[in-house]
Structure 1
Amino acid sequence: MKTKSIITLVAIAVFGMLAFSSFKSENNNAAAEGYAIGDLATDFKLLNVDGKMVSLSDYKSAKGFIVIFTCNTCPYAVASEDRIIALDQEFKDKGFPVIAINPNNPSVQPDDTYELMKEKAKDKGFTFPYLFDAKDKVYAKYGASKTPHVYLLQKEEAGNVVKYIGAIDDNVRSASLAKERFLANAINELLDGKPVSLKETKAIGCSIKV
C-alpha cells in the first residue's frame, strides 16, 4: 500500500513537470513566432526619449513604417546606428519613417535604461523616435529575437501589413562592406508599387535581454 502511494505521488510529480514544460515550451514558441509576412501588426503606445508617448497611429500621412528593435549596448546595434539614421533621412519624407524600439530589460542590461537611451539619442542625433519597451513587450508580439531586428510595415486599408522581416543589409558589422541593402530595396519596391522580392532575411545581432 505504501509502495503504491509512493508510485502515485511520483507519477503526479512527473505529470506536473511535463505539463509545465509543455506549457512553457508552447508559450516560448508563441513568443518566438510573432508576425509573419502578410500579417497585420497591431498598434502600440510606448514612451519616447523626448518624454512623449508614440503610436503608429500618430503618423497620419505615413505610407508605412520601418520598425527596428535595437538598443544602446549590442555591438551590432551600435554598428547599425548610422545606417538607421540614414534610412530615416532617406525614407521619412517618402512616407516610411523609422520607429526604433529598445526591447532590453534594464534590470538585465543596466546600460539600456531609459536615461541612457535619452543620452544615446542626443549624442547620436537620432531623427526618429527611440521607444522604451520596458513593460509592453512589443518585441514579443512581433517575434523579434535580436538587436537589430527589422520589420517593414506598409499601411493598407486593413491596417499595417508586414512586408519584410530581417536584417538591414548583408553586413551588420560594416556599412561600407555591405553589398545588398535588403531593407532599402524592399522599401523602394513598395514605393514603385511592386511586391517585395526578398521578403525575409536572417537578423544577425545580440539576443534580446529580458
Structure 2
Amino acid sequence: MKFLPLLILFFSSLFLGETTESNGYQPGDKATDFKLKSVDGKMYSMADYKDAKGFIVVFTCNTCPFAIKYEDRINAIAKKYKSKGYVLLAINPNDPEAQPADTFELMQEKAKVKGFFFPYLVDEGQKIYPQYGATKTPHVFLLDKNLIVKYIGSIDDNSDDASAVKEKYLENAIRALDNGTEPSPATTKAIGCSIKTKKKA
C-alpha cells in the first residue's frame, strides 16, 4: 500500500498537476515573436499577420489525452475567430526523442486527419515554450496586436466534456480584448500533460 501514494503523485504530475511558477510571461508582458516551421513546411511568425487584431498561441501536441480532447475545440476556435481578425498558432513543444509520437511527420499526419484550420508549428530545440512559461499541453496565451499578453491558462473549465463547459475562459478573454477591456480572469490553471524534454546527460 505504501506505493499507492507514489503512484498517485506520479500520475498527478504527468497529467493534471498544479501549474508551477515559471519565469515565463505574465499578463501585461510583451511577448517575443517567433519563426517556426509548420506541418506545411513553411515558416510562420506573428509578424506575418500585419492586420491581426490578436493572437491565440496554443502549446499542444499529438499525444496528451487532454490535448486530444481539445483538438476539435481548438479547431473550432481557430475557424470562429479568424474572420474576426484573431490568428491561432499551435505549437508542439515536446521533444520527439522524449515523446516519439510527436515527430514532425506524425504532426503532419495529425493535421491532415483532423483538418487543422491553423498552422501547427514545431518548437525545434524547445526554445519558445520556456520563454512563454508554458508548462502543459494544452496551455493557451492570448496576445493583442502589439503582442501584449492578455490571458494565460486553460481554454475552458471542462477538459473532459465540451458539452458540459460552463466557462469559456479563452473566448471570454477574446471578447474582452475585442471590447477594449481587460480579461477577467486574466489567468487560470492550465490542465494537461507536462511538456516532454530529453533527459540531461
Q: Could you tell me the TM-score, scaled by structure 1's length?
A: 0.82
Letter aligned with residue 73 of structure 1: T
Q: In angstroms, what is the RMSD of aligned CA positions?
A: 1.0
After TM superposition, list the pairs within 5 Å mapping 1:1-210 onto structure 2: 32-156=22-146, 160-210=147-197
Runs of 4+ in 1 over 3 A off after TM superposition: none
Letter aligned with residue 191 of structure 1: D
Distance (Å, rounded) in 1 between the aligned partners of 2:101 and 2:169: 29
Distance (Å, rounded) in 1 between the aligned partners of 2:161 and 2:59: 18
Q: Aligned residue for 1:8?
A: none
Spell out, residue by residue over 1:53-91, the C-alpha distance to the aligned partner (whole angstroms, 9 max, x if none). 000100111011000000000000000000000101111
Letter aligned with residue 181 of structure 1: K
- Contact kept in structure 1, 2:89 and 2:118, CA below 8 Å: yes
Q: How far did residue 155 of structure 1 move?
A: 1.2
Letter aligned with residue 104 of structure 1: N
Distance (Å, rounded) in 1 between the aligned partners of 2:48 and 2:86: 13
Letter aligned with residue 96 of structure 1: Y
Question: Number of residue pairs matched?
Answer: 177
Distance (Å, rounded) in 2 between the aligned partners of 1:136 and 1:202: 22
Q: How far did residue 32 of structure 1 move?
A: 2.5
Q: What runs of 5+ residues in structure 2 fail to find an aligned partner? A: 1-20
- Larger fraction in helix: 1
Identity of matched residues, %: 61
Distance (Å, rounded) in 1 between the aligned partners of 2:141 and 2:35: 17
Q: What runs of 5+ residues in structure 1 fail to find an aligned partner? A: 1-30
Q: Aligned residue for 2:17?
A: none
Q: How far did residue 189 of structure 1 move?
A: 1.0
SS of corresponding position for 1:94: coil
Letter aligned with residue 167 of structure 1: S
